[in-house]
Structure formats: C-alpha cells, structure tokens
Amino acid sequence: MGVLSEQRWRVRQREHVARVRRWTDPYQRRRSRGEKHPVHDFLFQYYPHRPAHLERWSPGPGVVLTGAASEFLERPGFTTTRDGVALAPFPARRAPATRALLALLEATASRAPRLSCFGLHEWAMVYRQPPERVRHSQLPLRLGSAGTDTVVESLELRCGHVDAFRFFTGPARPRNALQPSRERQVELEQPGCLHANMDLYRAAFKLDPYVPSELVADCFELAVGLRELDMRASPYDLSGLGYEPVRIETPRGRAEYARAQADFAERARPLRERLIEHCRGLLAQVQ
C-alpha cells in the first residue's frame, strides 16, 4: 500500500472539498431560500448522492492515511492498519452490482460514438404536452408549444438511453427509432450519448469510497458541462439564466451540437477507462 502523511492527505481533502463546494454551496443556499435552478439542481435531485457525500473525501483503495486519521473510522469501509487507516478489502456483497456496472462501462467503451440524436430527448419530453404538465413549467418554450411539436415531427428521434426515453411523452415514444429498456441498456449504450457520459458520475459515486474522490469530482464536473449543453439544446428559453441556446432546430445548430457532443465524448473516454480499471481491480479482490 502507498502511504500518505497527514499533511499530504489533508491537503488533498481540503482541495477536494473546495472544488465541489463551487456547486454544493449554491445548491444548499438555493434550497434554504426555496429557489430552483433548472440546470444545476438536476445533478443533486436526479442522482441519489447528497451534497454532503460529494464533499466527503476518500483516497481510494491501496492508500494508508497516517496521523490523526481516526475520523475516517466513523465511515463505512475504513479500518485500522499497522501504519494508520485505510480502506478494508472490497466487500463481496458489492461484487454483483460492480460486475453489472463494469459490463455496462466496457460495452459502452467498445463502441464508436453516435452523434445524430441532436438532444431531441428534451423536446420529446414536452411533445404535445399541455403547458401545465411541461417539466420546467417556469421556463418559456423558445418556439412555443406548436413550434416545439413541429421540430419533433420534422426530425427523427434516435434516443437510445433508457433513462431519457422513460420521460418521453406518450405521443413521442412511438416516434423514437429505438425502444430502449433496462434489459437492453448494455446493448444500446454508446459513448456519444450525453446521458451515458453524465452517468459516469453515477458510476463513480456507486463505487464510493472505493475510488478516489478526485475521480468522483472529475465525473461530476463533466456532468455539469453535459447538463448545461443538454439544457442549452432543449426547447426551453434559458436566456434569463445567461445560457445561449444551441438551436438544434436549424442545420447550423445541429452541427454545433454534434461538435460539442464529440468533444464531451472525448473528455468522457479517459474517465470511463479509469472507472473500468477500478472496477476490475476491486473485483479482483473478491474473485
């Protein structure tokens, strides 16, 4: 095992907390005031990982923390060693979920990115929907209800992500070229998908504390950028929040979206590879 002096691990701990509080602090302040942010709140409300847990630092496996590290013993997974405190061996009970996660990550990484969905999933979530049932009803639709419906009807829906597809309206679902399901997720997931790359954050915190918290934060930061693109390409008018739209209803906007999608796919690739490596290493402990 590697050994970290108290001075070194406390620096890493402070840096991690400061890094993620750029998002956790504003979210907590908004909650205390009863305010909502249609872009950033999603990452705390859709994903079941509380801000306090995102702020918690772990060195990941194979690292001994020396000095006054007894605070970690109050958290699941940590144990004492001859030289200090470290993570205990990976529990066998977590192996089935980790194998399933690894299978999804490996299958996704094995495919070439597809860049032809143009973010239409957000449009399909409001297609032919009464105004009072629109998901972000506090935001106006850039093209209005009729204009939004026209865009959906003029372009092919190609969403392959089950957790986006399940929010499609009833009239939008049969228009989709694919009918993704949980059972087909490993078959359909691909690395150009914004939501598949956003879900790297879910994969990282599911492995917590058995991955370094810096990797969780890397995946969270990627998810922030992906969520912003997701909503900029949506039918909603976010100009009041300072977001310029990606007008995917136009050829120029679709080209802009595809370029950004390709860039995010490239940024996600090494994070997915690191998660695959960690899953394999953890599973090797219980085989």
Q: What is the pLDDT of residue 130?
A: 84
pLDDT of residue 136: 79
Residue linked to tokens 């106006």: 140
Residue 130: phi, psi to the nearest 5?
Answer: -60, 145
- Mean pLDDT value of segment 278-285: 96
Q: Secondary structure of the chain in the HEC alphabet?
A: CEEECHHHHHHHHHHHHHHHHHHHHHHHHHHHHCCCCCCCCHHHHCCCCCHHHHHCCCCCCCEEECCCCHHHHHCCCEEECCCCEEECCCCHHHHHHHHHHHHHHHHHHCCCCCCCCCCCHHHHCCCCCCHHHCCCCCCCECCHHHHHHHHHHHCCECCCCHHHHCCCCCCCHHHECCCCCHHHHHHHCCCCCHHHHHCHHHHHHHCCCCCCHHHHHHHHHHHHHHHHHHHHCCCECCHHHCCCCCCCCCHHHHHHHHHHHHHHHHHHHHHHHHHHHHHHHHHHCCC
What average pLDDT does the chain have? 96
pLDDT at residue 134, rounded to an integer = 76
Q: What is the per-residue pLDDT across 181-192, written as a single tens digit (0 to 9) for each?
A: 999 999 999 999
CA within 13 Å, CB half, 110 = 10
Number of neighbouring beta carbons within 10 Å of residue 242: 6
Alpha-carbon radius of gyration of the chain: 21
pLDDT in tens, 128-149: 988 777 777 788 999 999 999 9
Q: What does the pLDDT look like over 234-248, one tens digit per residue?
A: 999 999 999 999 999
* 80 has pLDDT over 90: yes
pLDDT at 132: 73
**Average pLDDT for residues 205-215, to the nearest whole number?**
97
Q: For the residues 32-44, what does the mean pLDDT come to?
A: 95
Per-residue pLDDT of 95-110, as tens digits, reads: 999 999 999 999 999 9
